[in-house]
Amino acid sequence: MPVADLPSRHPDAWQRATRHPFLDAVRDGTIPVAAFDTWLVQDVRFVADLLRFQSRLLARAPRPAQAVLAGGLVALVDELAWFEEQAAARGLDLAAPALPATTGYAGLLGRLDAADVGTALTALWTVERTYLDAWSAARPGAPEYREFVEHWTQPGFAGYVAGLEAAADGVPAPDADATFTEVVAAETAFWDMAMEAAA
Ligand code: MP5
C-alpha cells in the first residue's frame, strides 16, 4: 500500500490533526497569543527531538533514502535557527519545560528509533505530511502569522514531503496503519496542548 493512501483510510483521525481549531484561528487571526507562543516554544523542543530521530534514521537508511533524509537534516538545523529568531522576537523563553504532549511525542520518536526502517520512514513521512496539510488549510493566514504558514506551504517543503513519500514507499512497513494513526494522534495532542495552554 502506498503511504499516500493512509490519510483516506483514516479520515476522522486525519481531519482532527490537519483541520484543528488552532489552524482555523491562525488563518483568521483569533489565535490566543498564549496558545501560539506555547506551540512555538514546544515545537522548538519537538524539532530538536526530530533532528535526533532523523539522524539515527539516516545512519540505517537504505541507499535510495539517504539524500532526502540528509537534506532534511540540514533543513532541520536551519529551522532551529529560524525558530530561535522567532522566539527571540516574541520574547519567549526556550528553556521553559516540556509539556506532556511534547514529552509523549519524544517517547514515540524514541520507540521509532527501535522500530524497523520501513516503520520509521512511514512515521517521518506522516509527521511532515501532517504539517503540509495542516498549514495549507490555514492559508493565507492572518498577516502576523503568515511567515509561519508560508514556512510549511512553500513548494520546497511540498517537494521534501514528496521525497519522503518515495523513500517510505521504497521500504514497506509491517503495520503502516498503526504507525500512521499513532503519529497522527501525537500531532492532534500537540495542537490540543497549545489551545489548552490558553484556556
Ligand atoms: C512538524 C513540526 C514538522 N514542526 N512539529 C510537529 C509537532 N509536527 C511536525 O516538522 P518540520 O521539521 O518543522 O517540517
Ranges of each domain in the chain: 14-198
The answer to whether the CB of 190 is under 6 A from ligand 1 is yes
User: Which whole-number Å values give the CA distances from 135 to 59, 118, 125, 150, in the listed order?
Assistant: 30, 26, 16, 8
CA distance 188 to 115: 22
Each residue's pLDDT tens digit, 16-33: 999 999 999 999 999 999
pLDDT confidence tier of residue 41, bands split at 50, 70 and 90: very high
The answer to whether the CB of 192 is under 6 A from ligand 1 is no
| pLDDT value of position 199 | 85
Q: How far is the CA of 171 from the centre of ligand 1 (A)?
A: 22
CATH code: domain 14-198 is: 1.20.910.10
pLDDT at position 56 over 90: yes
Q: Smallest Cα–Cα separation from 190: which of 59, 96, 102, 90?
A: 102
User: Which whole-number Å values give the CA distances from 115 to 99, 111, 174, in the listed order?
Assistant: 25, 7, 10
The answer to whether the CB of 50 is under 6 A from ligand 1 is yes
